[in-house]
Amino acid sequence: MAYIKERGAYWRAEVRRKGYKPTYRTFDTQKQAQQWARRIESDMDSGLYVDRTEAERTTLREALERYQREIVPTKRHPYQECCRINRWLKNDLCYRTLANLKGLDFARYRDARREAGRAENTIRLELQLISHLFEIARKEWGLENLINPLKNIRKPAGSRARTRRLECGEYDLILECLTASGNQFAACAFNLALETSLRQGVLFKIRWEWIDYPGRMIRFPAGILETANKGVPSALPLSNAAIKALHSICGLNESGEILIPRSGLVLNTTANAVICIWKRVLRKLQIKNLRWHDLRHEATSRFFEKGFHPMEVASITGHKSMQMLKRYTHLKPESLLERLG
């Protein structure tokens, strides 16, 4: 039976039923209180009642802060997730409760971000974070009745596949400027990226003790082969050009022989320092639409142009699937003319 009482300027409705937690709510009018009580009692009679109190009390801000404490540390890239959460915490939607958020609210957010000029993939990742938060709240935080509003809107498309490769003459121009930049490791990093296809994060972690010069291999330790590094091969073969690039940053002894260090980082600089030089060089040369990660696309494509089998290329690049390997491969039609005859 429902108990409805007037309290000052408001009406309080309370429903007590055996087997259910006492439920109550405050309304502006007696009629609203009676309607709510009848609806709750009907749901209890039919066995459809689900307690929404927690969802109606928890704000998006509180949920995001809990998500940041409990879920983000288990992610591959916690720093990026924290940046997205901090961006959400500045949004007015954080003052709304989880139960009151609708798909329309996030559709408006999506459109506002588009008008601000944000990339589609950036918006997609921001919305994906909130969608995962709702799923975690529903599955693990006891809010089983919570509806994920992100399932009711159209998601932005992912990022467009890059197809940019080095054009004729760009390699020599970039290499010359990087060599003259004052950072002796910049040109070496450029050549190693093209010869090994390593991602930026792994490239600048390589240590001299990992390099097997007689075998022309880089043998990565087990700690570097984690999933977060997106498929680093356990042993990476080195081309003659890669060995030459390594020699360019080695010292010479009194006899003029190459002195190979036995400890420390190969690229004894930060990735940020090299990327800053890289961007300055591109601006100086007026080379447009070229990113450092495009060098991985270039390296993968060159392996195929040398005649390597797809499985051989995958063993070097570390790609987990042929679909992703195809995404990184952009063969130049001119390279196929000789084989066509």
* Mean local confidence (pLDDT), 332-341: 79
Q: Which of 80-84, 172-176, 217-221, 262-266 has the highest mean pLDDT?
A: 172-176
All residues at 6 or more sequence positions from 295 whose CB lies less than 8 Å from its CB, including other chains: 190, 193, 194
CATH code (residue 145): 1.10.150.130
Domain membership of residue 42 as a residue range: 2-49
pLDDT in the model for residue 226: 61
- Kindly state whether residues 269 and 123 are assigned to the same domain: no
**What are 84-97's pLDDT values in tens digits?**
999 999 999 999 98
Last residue within a domain, chosen from 122, 152, 182: 152
CATH number of the domain enclosing 252: 1.10.443.10
42 and 75 co-located in one domain: no
Same structural domain for residues 9 and 89? no
pLDDT value for 242: 95
The backbone torsions φ and ψ at residue 22, rounded to the nearest 5 degrees and listed phi first, read -55, 135
Co-location of 187 and 139 in the same domain: no
pLDDT tens readout for residues 114-147: 999 888 889 999 999 999 999 999 889 878 778 8
* 62 plus 131 within the same structural domain: yes
Within a domain: residue 295?
A: yes
- Residue 251 pLDDT > 80, yes or no? no
Secondary structure in 3-state letters for the chain: CEEEEEECCEEEEEECCCCCCCEEEEECCHHHHHHHHHHHHHHHHHCCCCCCHHHHHCEHHHHHHHHHHHCHHHCCCHHHHHHHHHHHHCCHHHHCEHHHCCHHHHHHHHHHHHHCCCCHHHHHHHHHHHHHHHHHHHHHCCCCCCCCHHHHCCCCCCCCCCCCCCCCCHHHHHHHHHHCCCCHHHHHHHHHHHHHCCCHHHHCCCEHHHEECCCCEEECCHHHHCHHHCCCCCEEECCHHHHHHHHCCCEECCCCCEECCCCCECCCCCHHHHHHHHHHHHHHHCCCCCCCCHHHHHHHHHHHHCCCCHHHHHHHHCCCCHHHHHHCCCCCHHHHHHHHC
Residues 213 and 326 in one domain: yes
pLDDT at residue 225, rounded to an integer:
65
Per-residue confidence (pLDDT) for residue 29, from 0 to 100: 87
Q: Are residues 179 and 96 in the same domain?
A: no
Is 25 inside a domain boundary? yes
Distance CA 305, CA 159 (A): 26
Mean pLDDT of the chain: 87
**pLDDT for residue 178 is more than 60:** yes
Tell me which residue of 77, 254, 302, 279 sits closest to 177, measured CA to CA: 279
If asked whether residues 126 and 12 sit together in one domain, one would say no
Same-domain pairing of 250 and 321: yes
Whether the per-residue pLDDT at 1 is higher than 70: the answer is no
- Give the count of domains, the chain: 3
pLDDT exceeds cutoff 60 at 229: no
137 and 283 share a domain? no
Indicate whether 295 pLDDT > 60: yes
Per-residue pLDDT at 132: 94
Same-domain status, 45 and 189: no
Query: What pLDDT was estimated at residue 146?
Result: 83
Let me know if residue 165 belongs to a domain. no
Q: State residue 87's pLDDT score.
A: 94
Name the range with the highest mean pLDDT among 71-80, 153-162, 222-231, 232-241. Answer: 232-241
Q: What's the per-residue H, E or C state across 301-313?
A: HHHHHCCCCHHHH
Shared domain for 118 and 191, answered yes or no, is: no
